[in-house]
Chain A
Amino acid sequence: MNKKEILLKALEDMIKIRIIEENISKEFKKNKVLSFLHLSIGQEACATGVAFGTKAQDNFFGNHRSHGHYLAKGGNISRMIYEVFGDNRGCCSGHGGSMHMLDKNVNFLGSVPILGSSLPIASGIAMSEKLKKKNNLTIVFIGDGSAEEGSFYETLNMAGLYKLPLLIVIEDNKYAVESDKFKRKVNGYDFKSIIEKGLKANYNRVDGQDFLKVFDASKKLRKKILKDKSVGVLHLDCLRFSKHSGAEISTKDQKSKYRKNEYFEIIKKDPIKILKQNIIRTGMSLIQIEKIINKLQKKYNKIFYTTFNKINIKKV
């Protein structure tokens, strides 16, 4: 695929994530579904960029906010929708719900919502692949909160010790639930020094709102991890458009005190908007791009409601 094709395919995946999640949000509210829901709207470039920068044979392992990771990896859309709404046709037979995504057919090997749990599990998956002599990577997605767990440092040491092909992706949206990272970290906290100098792992930090930057960084880290037999950390600065949990995507939350009025940054740094600008640089006009987006929105609205209309919320 040339650059333009890659960007257009990424656009489709990002629209897919956004439309499916927007519809989930709407129907959750309407149907009074009280299950946990952590939307990844705003962070689509992280999931999509990593999926494009890695290979189909690589494994993904997710966290509480993993609809985007699952969809970017090509997970079955209907089975995800069923799962989120508690239907037993879901990817975890309705046992898991929104926080447990699974599609082994595309190497999406699960997601768990306990902060820090996913890291060592993913290192075990990476070790299993190494023992089976596969030449692939296991990618685990965590938030900046999880990177404060002891298991983050333990896993970096342990996976480094065993030379495991593991890529840890930190989606740093600045907040653990509603707690600002500056309230949680020592002044001058330095990821780069700790990870590179202290734990001898590869580290790269890029703008997680920009698909191209995430894509390039993932691709380079993948190569390096497999070549050097060392662990990698990809640190993505990103923006969570939704509340920490719940169906509401609220400007009230975006403008709230704990977020220091992040609303204007969110408007400016919408990952789909940034991707559109990148596509324009390949020679396409904005009108052409908007036409494509319009078609994609219709396509994924239809896909969502085709599945959703088969669910009887009250019955399930």
Chain B
Amino acid sequence: MKFTEAIKLATIRTLKEDKKCLLFGLEITNEGNGFIEKFPNQVFETPVSELSSTGLVVGLASRGFKPIIVYGRIEFALLAFDQILTQAGRWEYMFGGNYSCPAKFRIQIGRQWGNGPQHTANYHSVFMQAVEIDIFIPSTPSEAYNQILYMSKSKNPSVLLEHRYLNLLDEDFKIEKKIKKISTSKVYGNKKDNIVIITYADTLPIALKAKDILEINNIFPTILNLSFFPKNQRISNKDISFINKFKNILLVDSSPYDFGILSGVQSILSLHLQNKNFYKLSSPNIPAPSSPMLMHKYYVNKNNIVNYVCKILKRKNITLSKVSFEESILWPNFSINKYFK
């Protein structure tokens, strides 16, 4: 199942299982999308009024509904930040508790070839200080599916940041009848070498490809991919303990690093862990360009990770073939099943 299909199926399931679940967005009622035909009383087209359609959803959530609103780009969701951060994000606390506002904000985010500085921002970390909001950033189809189901039942306001870059990623997974408690992270690798690569969102498939190359060359890094940042503790004690098993910690981010999510993770780890070596790979401190050639250089690629891991572990350099334009720029279109074995 592709990433986009997983999101759609999970959304359909929430609408089917609970009549209090509602869906709002632009073009959401277009024929062929599969929503309005099945759920004519639960699906609503919104005007191009992000602030007010988000406020509507906040009001509905405060009265016992579980509305989901979809934004085609984070830049448009920025117009609704008053409602997401100041209203939904403070609702229960400012009204003294016992007044939940389980509004769900599904926001598409991040890189896409040619979309340029105003359609590719990676403002993940902006949400992290909205301390009443659960943040979900799925990296795989199963994570997207299960996180949507989980957040639809939660009484917390929730933000789901969907990376378009992952749209074609494929995964076979079992659809459970019961909605499980979800994990904050997933580990890929056998902990053989003393390095953990911390990723989230769209950096996972790149790190997995780098891991493949490294393993062929007898280097065995471990990847810890973060995907759920709960409201009360953004990084779990379990994840901190896991990271503590490694001396070398490489943080790989497709956002500019400074004060981003992984910069925050590093600062928390520094408070808890002693004698660690931190390294980072990230996009530079400029907006993402439109030009494909500039974009090719802008994002971290698998070769960057391979080279850096060899350097950190003081291993011989590996001869690498160039990362093709297609691989660097276009959506990764492969199955990640083998990584779950």
Chain A residues with CB under 8 Å of chain B are: 90-96, 100, 102, 104, 109-110, 112, 114, 116-117, 119-129, 131, 150-151, 154-155, 157-158, 161-162
Contact = CB atoms under 8 A, between A and B. Distances in A.
Q: Give the residue among B41, B56, B65, B87 with the most A Cβ atoms within 10 A.
A: B56
B281 interface: no
B96 A124 contact: no
B95 A157 contact: no
Task: Give the top 10 A-B pairs by smallest Cβ distance, nearest first.
Answer: A124-B59, A120-B55, A93-B96, A128-B63, A154-B52, A154-B49, A92-B96, A120-B52, A121-B59, A124-B56
Contacts of A150: 49, 51
Contact of A158 (B52, B58, B60, B63): B52
Interface string B20-64: 000000000000000000000100101101011111111111111
B87 A127 contact: no
Nearest to A140: B59
A91 B96 contact: yes
Contacts of B47: 154, 157-158, 161
Contacts of A125: 59-60, 62-63
Contact of A96 (B55, B60, B95): B95
B63 A162 contact: no
B94 A120 contact: no
A151 to B, nearest CB: 5
Contact of A131 (B46, B55, B65, B94): B65
B259 interface: no
Contacts, number: 109
B46 A117 contact: no
Nearest to B101: A121
Nearest to B88: A121
B101 to A, nearest CB: 10
A78 to B, nearest CB: 15
A20 B321 CA distance: 78
B118 to A, nearest CB: 19
A122 B63 CA distance: 11
B52 A128 contact: no
B257 interface: no
Given A102-B99, A154-B47, A154-B51, A124 B60 contact: yes
B271 to A, nearest CB: 28
A157 B99 CA distance: 28
B154 interface: no
Given A112-B87, A117-B87, A158 B46 contact: yes
A155 B65 CA distance: 19
A32 B38 CA distance: 59
B96 A128 contact: no
A256 to B, nearest CB: 31
Contacts of B56: 120-121, 123-124, 127, 158
B86 interface: yes
A121 B94 contact: no
B93 interface: yes
Given A102-B96, A110-B95, A124-B59, 16 more contacts: A93-B96, A114-B86, A117-B87, A120-B54, A120-B83, A121-B58, A121-B83, A124-B57, A125-B62, A128-B59, A131-B41, A150-B49, A151-B52, A157-B49, A158-B46, A158-B56
B69 to A, nearest CB: 11
Given A120-B52, A120-B56, A154-B51, A102 B95 contact: yes
A123 B52 contact: yes
A92 B95 CA distance: 5
19 contacts: A96-B94, A96-B96, A102-B95, A112-B87, A117-B82, A117-B86, A119-B55, A121-B59, A121-B87, A122-B59, A123-B55, A123-B56, A123-B59, A124-B60, A127-B59, A131-B65, A151-B55, A157-B47, A158-B56
Contact of B55 (A109, A124, A129): A124
A128 B57 CA distance: 10
A256 B53 CA distance: 40
Given A91-B96, A95-B95, A150-B51, A128 B64 contact: yes
A112 B94 CA distance: 9
Contacts of A119: 52, 55
Given A92-B94, A100-B94, A125-B59, A162 B53 contact: no
Contacts of A94: 96
A120 B60 CA distance: 10
Nearest to A101: B95
Contacts of A90: 96
A124 B63 contact: yes
Nearest to B54: A120
A117 B65 contact: no
B62 A124 contact: yes
